[in-house]
């Protein structure tokens, strides 16, 4: 009877938690960080009082906390090392009395309270649906804390939020659930969250990493922590035939190389880049929906007839050079889309050129165009 | 125990692929057609020309005159005696099209006495709205002295205009 009542209570807390998060999403101007912190603190107190936990704690807790602490610090260090390549910007919020009471203290309360709620609900919940709901609730909490989801505008913001916040939050919360489930502790989760959330307040500069890369790093780090913990603490090794093992390793290596190449090309931050063609101005040569591969412009001479990727007034264009004129201000390149009647307005100069097109693949970009059309 | 690791790796790789598709889509949005965007507007009345009375300024004596068809102008400068003295003439460029913007540009060429003179130009706005105007200021600077009455130079300023969207 007592167990039955406790299960009921868990469902009630889950529902209250969920409803609170939904309301907070819709009234973000009322539910500031401080109010969220207070509500979560109250829910966590309620959980401590009414839900009892399994007292069998893992003997390696100290070791695990130290390991997670080290990985978190190495992760932050890697971000700053990457900053040497991408540059830095001054942190928008500096350490001050105001930032301590507005951000740091509420964040610490939110982190600790939410992890208490997690361990109480997750470990006492028997149904998978309930566990999925808990995970969704925590993802929702991350979204509320980082984004004004009601006022998103345009495809770019949606893609950024999905990649940078939602995917990263799913990966993090799966790791936190795993650690709670496997080691029966929330200390490691709290350490990881505090370090990775609050470091920006303590270091006056922040690495200006392209959001695309940071999104990928943020979903890879939880997996790395999980893999390390599994290697060290999983005593039940899976028995596999050597052929199967080999096949898996080959698959993972090939897939990883492929994905790395895709990431490098799409980012356009390296020597080679790809672009999806969204217009019909080069139809015949490059059609709408094709993707083009370009090599970054290396300051060498450009010949008439070459197809260039250039950017002028923040508009990226892929057109052919039809004429050149040498002036006192440098060479002017006149361009035109193969399917256009007129040449492009004005001219471009070396500084406008991004790269030279050297290859195309047909039709692959249609998915992107379809997604893009959805937001028009 | 099931082999979760492979499942997680595949899920991660798929997630990265989805992110890549998303960011590639953002890049697509920026691409647009240039060159024939004004196809729906009437180009038959696209006409950009020099209009009004030019204004002159600076040192020495400067005269400026626009030809009857508005397609060319002359500028004469005399009396520049000291190094770095400048003379200017400002011309009005009018876009007579009622439905097309004009993208204007100017190039200086054929300067015959670059040892003594430097010619520069400045366009107030590189785009002129339909039925709008902008100005181009041509500046002649004396680079060295002594310069006599016989010291003269010629140059051409060519203004090009294209329909813009």
Contact B141, B86 (CB under 8 A): yes
- Two tokens at B163? 């329909």
| Res B36: pLDDT | 27
- Show which of residues 40-79 on chain B sit within 8 Å of chain A, judged by CB atoms: none
Contacting residues for A363 by C-beta, under 8 A, at least 6 apart: A289, A290
**Contact state of A220 with B107 under an 8 Å Cβ cutoff:** no
Q: Helix axis angle, A242-267 relative to B4-29, nearest 10°?
A: 20
Q: Determine the residue among B1, B18, B20 to mutate to test chain A binding: the one whose Cβ has the most chain A Cβ atoms within 10 Å.
A: B20
Res. A173: pLDDT tops 90: yes
Residue to test with chain A: of B34, B158, B161, most A Cβ within 10 A: B34
Residue with more model confidence, A106 or B81 = A106
Tell me which chain A residues have a C-beta less than 8 angstroms from the C-beta of B161: none
Tell me which chain B residues have a C-beta less than 8 angstroms from the C-beta of A369: 25, 28
Q: Confidence band (pLDDT; 50, 70, 90) for A306?
A: very high
> Domain B48-164: which topology?
Immunoglobulin-like (2.60.40)
Q: What residue in A sits closest to B164 (Cα-Cα)?
A: A345
10 Å CB burial of residue A114 (0-12, 13-18, 19+) is: buried
The mean pLDDT of A238-257, rounded to a whole number, is 79
Contacts of B157 in chain A (CB under 8 A): none
State mean pLDDT over A53-82.
Answer: 86
Chain B positions in Cβ-Cβ contact with residue A238 (cut-off 8 Å): 1, 3
Residue B121 C-alpha, separation from nearest chain A C-alpha, in angstroms? 12
In tens, the pLDDT along A212-246 reads: 888 999 999 999 999 899 888 876 666 667 777 78
> Six-digit token pair at A321?
């050079």
Distant-in-sequence, close-in-space partners of A25: CB < 8 Å, separation ≥ 6? A140, A143, A144, A149, A150
Q: Which residue has the higher pLDDT, A239 or A30?
A: A30
- Alpha-carbon distance of A263 to A267, in angstroms, equals 6
- Tell which wins on pLDDT, A156 or B160: A156
Q: Which of A162, A347, A372 sits opposite B28 (nearest CB)?
A: A372
- With a pLDDT cut of 90, the percent of chain A lying above it is 32
Mean pLDDT, rounded, for A341-364: 88
Find, in chain B, the residue whose alpha carbon is nearest to that of A234: B1
DSSP strands (E only) in chain A: 88-90, 205-207, 272-276, 291-296, 307-312, 315-327, 330-336, 353-361
- Contact A223/B12, CB-based, under 8 Å? yes
| CB contact B30 to A (< 8 Å) | yes
pLDDT digit string, tens, across residues B16-71: 888 888 888 877 644 333 322 222 333 445 677 888 888 888 887 788 888 777 77
**Architecture of the domain made up of A275-374:** Ribbon (2.10)
A147 Cβ under 8 Å from any chain B Cβ: no
| Rounded Cα distance, A297 and A271, in Å | 9
pLDDT in tens, A82-95: 999 888 888 777 78
Is the model's pLDDT at B12 over the cut of 70?
A: yes
Band the pLDDT of B2: cuts 50, 70, 90: low
A345–B163 C-beta distance less than 8 A: yes
Cβ-proximal residues to A5 (8 Å cutoff; 6+ apart), any chain: none
Higher pLDDT, A1 or A252: A252
pLDDT of residue A3: 63
For range B109-115, the mean pLDDT:
71
Contact B31 A278 (CB under 8 A): yes
pLDDT band at A288 (very low <50, low <70, confident <90, very high): confident
Structure confidence at residue B101 (pLDDT): 75
Mutation choice for A interface testing from B18, B29, B95 by most A CBs within 10 A = B29
C-beta atoms of A267 and B23 within 8 A:
yes
Q: Is the pLDDT of residue B108 over 80?
A: no
Section A353-370 average pLDDT = 89
**A201-204, Cβ contacts within 8 angstroms, sequence gap of 24 or more:** A201/A91, A201/A93, A201/A94, A201/A95, A201/A99, A201/A103, A201/A104, A202/A95, A203/A80, A203/A91, A204/A90, A204/A91, A204/A94
Identify the pLDDT of residue A113. Answer: 95
CB contact under 8 A, B34 and A345: yes
Does the distance separating the beta carbons of B34 and A337 come in below 8 Å? yes
Q: Inspect the interface and report whether the beta carbons of B22 and A372 lie closer than 8 Å.
A: no
Contact A259 B6 (CB under 8 A): no
Report d(CA B91, CA B71) in Å as an integer: 12
So where are chain B's domains? 1-31, 48-164
Of the pLDDT bands very low, low, confident and very high (cuts 50, 70, 90), residue A326 is confident
| Residue of higher predicted confidence among A27 and A202 | A202
Question: Would you say residue A150 has pLDDT above 50?
Answer: yes
pLDDT at residue B98 is higher than 80: no
A153 CB neighbours in chain B (<8 A) are none
Cα of first residue to Cα of last residue in chain A, in angstroms, is 56
* CB-CB neighbors (< 8 A) of B5 in chain A: 227, 230
Q: Is the ipTM of this complex over 0.90?
A: no
Q: Which residue has the higher pLDDT, A37 or A372?
A: A37
Q: Rounded CA gap, B146 and A297, in Å?
A: 46
Give the pLDDT of residue B41. 34
Quick check: B126 and B158 in contact, CB under 8 A? no
Q: Where are the beta strands (DSSP E) in chain B?
A: 48-58, 61-66, 73-78, 86-95, 101-109, 117-123, 127-128, 133-142, 156-164
Lowest mean pLDDT among A57-66, A164-173, B8-17, B64-73: B64-73
Q: What is the pLDDT of residue B81?
A: 76
Measured between CA atoms, the residue of chain B closest to residue A212 is B23
Q: What integer best gives the mean pLDDT of chain A?
A: 86
Nearest CA in chain B to A248: B6
Q: What is the pTM of this model?
A: 0.67
Window from A177-191, A301-315, B112-126 with minimum mean pLDDT:
B112-126
């Amino acid at each position: 009877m007592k167990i039955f009542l406790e299960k009921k209570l868990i469902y009630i807390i889950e529902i209250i938690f969920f409803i609170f998060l939904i309301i907070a999403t819709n009234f973000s101007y009322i539910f500031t960080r401080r109010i969220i912190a207070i509500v979560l603190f109250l829910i966590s107190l309620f959980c401590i009082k009414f839900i009892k936990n399994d007292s069998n704690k893992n003997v390696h807790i100290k070791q695990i906390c130290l390991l997670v602490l080290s990985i978190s610090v190495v992760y932050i260090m890697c971000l700053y090392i990457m900053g040497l390549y991408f540059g830095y910007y001054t942190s928008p919020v500096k350490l001050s009395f105001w930032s301590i009471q507005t951000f740091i203290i509420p964040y610490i309360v939110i982190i600790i309270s939410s992890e208490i709620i997690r361990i109480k609900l997750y470990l006492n919940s028997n149904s998978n649906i309930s566990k999925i709901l808990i995970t969704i609730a925590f993802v929702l909490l991350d979204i509320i804390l980082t984004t004004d989801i009601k006022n998103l505008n345009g495809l770019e913001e949606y893609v950024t939020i999905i990649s940078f916040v939602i995917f990263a939050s799913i990966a993090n919360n799966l790791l936190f659930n795993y650690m709670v489930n496997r080691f029966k502790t929330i200390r490691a989760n709290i350490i990881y969250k505090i370090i990775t959330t609050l470091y920006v307040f303590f270091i006056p500069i922040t690495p200006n990493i392209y959001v695309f890369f940071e999104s990928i790093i943020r979903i890879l780090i939880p997996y790395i922590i999980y893999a390390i913990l599994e290697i060290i603490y999983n005593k039940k090794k899976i028995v596999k035939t050597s052929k199967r093992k080999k096949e898996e390793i080959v698959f993972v290596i090939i897939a990883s190389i492929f994905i790395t190449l895709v990431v490098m090309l799409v980012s356009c931050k390296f020597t080679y880049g790809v672009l999806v063609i969204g217009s019909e101005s080069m139809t015949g040569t490059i059609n709408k929906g094709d993707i083009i591969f370009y090599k970054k412009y290396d300051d060498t001479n450009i010949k008439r007839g070459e197809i260039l990727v250039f950017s002028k007034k923040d508009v990226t264009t892929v057109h052919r050079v039809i004429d050149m004129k040498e002036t006192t201000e440098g060479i002017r390149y006149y361009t035109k889309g193969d399917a256009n009647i007129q040449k492009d307005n004005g001219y471009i100069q070396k500084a406008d050129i991004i790269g030279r097109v050297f290859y195309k693949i047909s039709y692959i970009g249609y998915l992107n165009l379809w997604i893009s059309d959805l937001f028009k | 125990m099931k082999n979760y690791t492979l499942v997680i790796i595949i899920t991660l790789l798929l997630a990265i692929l989805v992110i890549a598709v998303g960011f590639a889509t953002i890049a697509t949005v920026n691409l647009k057609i240039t060159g024939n965007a004004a196809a729906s507007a009437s180009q038959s009345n696209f006409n950009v020309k020099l209009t009004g009375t030019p204004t002159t300024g600076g040192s020495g004596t400067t005269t400026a005159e626009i030809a009857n068809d508005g397609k060319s102008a002359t500028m004469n400068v005399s009396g520049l005696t000291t190094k770095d003295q400048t003379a200017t003439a400002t011309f009005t460029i009018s876009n007579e099209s009622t439905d097309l913007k004009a993208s204007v540009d100017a190039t200086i060429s054929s300067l015959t006495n670059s040892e003594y003179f430097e010619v520069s130009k400045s366009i107030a706005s590189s785009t002129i709205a339909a039925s709008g105007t902008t100005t181009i200021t041509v500046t002649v600077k004396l680079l060295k002295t002594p310069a006599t009455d016989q010291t003269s130079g010629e140059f051409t300023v060519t203004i090009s205009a294209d329909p813009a969207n």
